[in-house]
Copies of this chain bind each other. A is one copy, B any other.
């Protein structure tokens, strides 16, 4: 079998998402080989990834017979770029599509191809915004519980922008709304920049309200600053990694930034192959792996495959927002199931998510890139 076609699609939904939804643009990748088709999704700017693909080494015609061929194709893409992060950005969708395709070829879920004998359910967390007032935050937390989410990640809004007193009010409100048995996560969105003392001042109320993780208190990648905060954090753990452009960077966050939760964006770091490498490194370091909420349920399932076999790594970020690009890109979404509202990775070949071509076509962006009168890219047929 050879790679017959690699097609990139830019999808965009006009309406903005709600409650901390990720971007409403997304990049879909379709790979065809033999009689098989695989789908992948990338997180960051589709136009930039498409532009990047025009300078990348071609992979059409490459043999695709064994799982090792996926890594080999990844090396081809990477070796053609002077910028590892940019190559991984493009590769994320391609690599995921290749795993999906090989899962169909071997009639196995991707998690099994990755060596996990079985998949365990994950507990989904939903991402919401802090309210402008404590009363609003209580209501948001209660709503999330009513929607069936025991774990809730609060972020943005006024948090971190005033002082420890105001932040404490917000955190107490979030805890009140969630109840004692709720799992409370906080995403600080680098609000304290490089100001380590301010971040440390916030720790007390985060611990008092039993926050499980504090995500990105500081500028992403400031390793020594993260370590300084982690040292003062006690049982509260730091989370980071969604912006990691490379496996090496994710490793550094664990080794030197002393994070306790490694967040992995399968659509950013280079796809399933790279995500699995980060997870293996996390296990060695007793760091807990967790996916980063994907745009759609296609990337969501892909992200779950990577750590489906690890019951102790139990949380997962659930895609939020009502945009069709989030909700309806697949024929079925992955819904919380049972009394506990858990997510079960699909027991189906590949990542198990069938693309919804109707939604895709409705949100497909017609794009053309022309160089000296010659068309380098034109949106392919879907």
Contacts and interface: CB of A to CB of B under 8 A. Distances in A.
A303 interface: no
Interface stretch (A82-90, A121-129, A323-331): A82-90
A248 B244 CA distance: 12
Nearest to A218: B248
B221 A83 contact: no
Contacts of A348: none
Contact of A48 (B43, B55, B268, B372): B55
A369 B368 contact: yes
Contacts of A373: 366
Contacts of A249: 221, 249
Given A52-B45, A243-B82, A370 B368 contact: yes
A148 to B, nearest CB: 28
Nearest to A82: B44
A224 interface: yes
A300 to B, nearest CB: 17
A44 to B, nearest CB: 5
A382 B26 CA distance: 34
A243 B249 CA distance: 13
A224 B255 contact: yes
A369 B84 CA distance: 25
A252 interface: yes
Pick the most buried of A219, A248, A256, A368: most chain B CB atoms within 10 A of its CB: A248
Interface in A312-354: none
A331 to B, nearest CB: 26
A47 interface: yes
A80 to B, nearest CB: 10
A260 interface: no
A367 interface: yes
B45 A86 contact: yes
A101 interface: no
A330 to B, nearest CB: 23
Given A82-B243, A221-B252, A256-B256, A45 B50 contact: no
Contacts of A251: 222-224
A9 to B, nearest CB: 13
Given A45-B52, A47-B54, A223-B255, A23 B248 contact: no
Contacts of A370: 367-370
Interface string A213-247: 00000011111100000000000000000010110
Given A245-B245, A256-B252, A367-B371, A48 B86 contact: yes
A331 B224 CA distance: 44
Contact of A248 (B55, B219, B367, B372): B219
A5 interface: no
Interface in A63-115: 81-86, 89
Contact of A44 (B83, B256, B369): B83
Contacts of A268: 83
A254 to B, nearest CB: 10
Q: Sort A-B residue pairs by CB-CB distance and give the 3 closest, nearest first.
A: A51-B51, A221-B248, A368-B370
Interface of A: 23, 43-45, 47-48, 50-52, 54-55, 81-86, 89, 219-224, 243, 245-246, 248-249, 251-252, 255-256, 268, 365-373
27 contacts: A44-B82, A45-B51, A45-B52, A47-B52, A48-B48, A48-B55, A51-B51, A83-B85, A83-B89, A83-B245, A85-B86, A86-B86, A219-B248, A221-B246, A221-B249, A222-B248, A223-B248, A223-B251, A224-B255, A245-B245, A365-B371, A365-B372, A366-B373, A367-B369, A367-B370, A368-B368, A370-B370
